[in-house]
Amino acid sequence: MKLKMHKVELTCYAGNLKCLKEAIASGADSVYVGGESFGRDTLSDDFSREDLIEGIKFTHDNNKKIYLTINLLPHNKDFDGFKEFLMELDRLKVDALIVSEPGTLVMVKQILPNIKVHLGNVSNVYNYETANFWYNQGVNRVVISRELSIKEMETMRLKTPDTLELEAFVHGPIIMSYSGRKLITSYLESKGKDDYSPKKRYNLTEEKRKGQYCPVYEDDGGTIFFASRDLCTIEYLDRIIKSGVNTLTIEARMEDENYVREVVSVYREAIDDFYQNNFEYKCSEDMLERLKKATHRKHTTGFYLEEIVNYD
């Protein structure tokens, strides 16, 4: 077997400076953020340049890492001033950039050939051949699709280079669909209305399952649909670590610093228990209860197991 025991990284999305500091203080090894331009700022408070500078300093002062997302699926206009933006990030010493499509990757590698590049989850890496393709293009880490099982993660690790890092989401809202179009705004405008506001809450519902809401969010980059349940893998965290992935990710872009504090601390405790107990692990009822109390949304194991487990 190629699988080796290794120390996994715990990372968390930080929607604002408060969440960034809370994630680091609660035990995250790294955070990923969106900047005030080019960064994926959907569902979060924007990081101003000043916030980003302070956040980078705080993260590095605590010997942690910070990654910055590049615009999800950029349009032509998004590349205006792109070189200057990248040079600024290089001066600020971000630890890696997260890209989602080939054009952005090419420009990043041309302008900053030595910076580490991660491939975002919307690029849909479902198999080891695709992972190897991106590795050969200069990507250092790929985020595995959330539709894969743990067994498929193991196969991907076995059939990719050890130097390619694999990242998997373990907790938080599940993005079920992304559109580069501003669907809500376009619809309202077609009806002669101009009253869309990102502060308003929109949900997708199914006719026969009333009360199960799939949140819909929109910004200048487009529209994103979320599943009605949040991912929760705390009971099976040892299996995910043993699959060979390098990084475990908490999705918290819709959440505040209280959520970040609770969820990150639980996963930090679980990871530490796994290693301290010689790779043996048992999730406690306390961990599950703390995660349930962190959000009003119900949890699911998604596609990771042979059979989906939904938590009520």
The answer to whether 63 and 103 are in contact (CB under 8 A) is: no
Whether 301 is covered by a domain: the verdict is yes
Query: What string of DSSP letters covers 8-51?
Result: PEEEEE-SSHHHHHHHHHTT-SEEEEE-SSSS--TTS----HHH
CA atoms within a 13 Å half-sphere pointing along the CA-CB vector of 210? 0
Tell me the pLDDT tens digit for each residue of 181-239: 566 666 566 656 566 565 566 776 766 666 666 677 676 666 666 665 889 999 999 99
pLDDT at 185: 67
Q: Which domain holds residue 236?
A: 9-173+229-305
Q: How confident is the model at residue 20 (pLDDT cuts 50, 70, 90)?
A: very high
User: Residue 182 burial by CB count (10 A; 0-12/13-18/19+): exposed, middle or buried?
Assistant: middle
Amino acid identity at 262: E
What's the CA gap between 280 and 165, in Å, rounded?
A: 24
Q: Kindly tell me if the per-residue pLDDT of 141 is higher than 70.
A: yes
Cβ-Cβ contacts under 8 Å for 30 (sequence gap 6 or more): 9, 10, 11, 12, 59, 64, 65, 66, 67, 95, 247
The model's pTM is 0.86
Return the C-alpha torsion angle 213, 214, 215, 216, nearest 10: -130
Tell me, what's the pLDDT at 43? 40
Q: What is the pLDDT of residue 157?
A: 97
Q: Considering just the CA atoms, what is the radius of gyration of the chain in Å?
A: 19
Structure-model confidence comparison of residues 45 and 9, the more confident one = 9
- 8 A C-beta contact, residue 230 and residue 298: yes
Lowest mean pLDDT among 32-36, 210-214, 236-240, 242-246: 210-214
Residues 6+ apart with CB under 8 A from 226: 173, 174, 175, 176, 214, 215, 216, 217, 254
Please, where are the H alpha helices in 112-256? 128-136, 150-158, 183-190, 237-242
| Number of structural domains in the chain | 1
Query: Would you say residue 129 has pLDDT above 90?
Result: yes
Amino acid at the residue 218: E
Measured between alpha carbons, how far is residue 196 from residues 187, 200, 259, 291 in Å?
10, 7, 27, 33
Confidence check: pLDDT of 134 > 70: yes
Opening angle at CA 270, ends 267 and 273, nearest 5:
150
Query: Among 111-115, 173-177, 190-194, 228-232, which is the least confidently predicted range?
Result: 190-194
DSSP state of 52: H
What is the tens place of the pLDDT at every residue in 40-94? 444 445 678 889 999 999 999 999 999 998 866 787 888 888 999 899 999 999 9
CA distances from 9 to 29, 116, 246 (A): 6, 16, 6
Predicted confidence at residue 32, as pLDDT, reads 94
Domain assignment present for residue 3? The answer is: no
User: How far is it, in rounded angstroms, from Cα 237 to Cα 305?
Assistant: 11
What average pLDDT does the structure give for the chain? 86
Question: Token pair of 6, please?
Answer: 């290794």
| pLDDT given at position 209 | 64
Which pLDDT value is given to residue 145? Answer: 92
Over residues 248-300, the pLDDT tens digits come to 999 998 789 999 999 999 999 999 999 999 898 999 999 999 999 999 888 88
Q: How far apart are CA 21 and CA 26, in angstroms?
A: 9
Answer whether 14's CB lies under 8 Å from 252's CB.
yes
Query: What's residue 125's pLDDT?
Result: 95
Q: Is 90 exceeded by the pLDDT of residue 180?
A: no
- For residue 291, give the CATH number of its domain: 3.20.20.70
The mean pLDDT value for 9-18 works out to 95
Residue 251 lies in a domain: yes
> Does residue 138 belong to any structural domain of this protein?
yes
Flag whether 210 is in a domain.
no
Q: Is residue 209 part of a domain?
A: no
In a domain, 190, yes or no: no
User: What residues contact residue 224 under an 8 Å CB cut-off, 6+ apart?
Assistant: 42, 43, 175, 177, 178, 179, 216, 217, 218
85: in domain? yes
> What share of the chain has pLDDT > 90, as a percent?
58
SS3 state of residue 291: helix
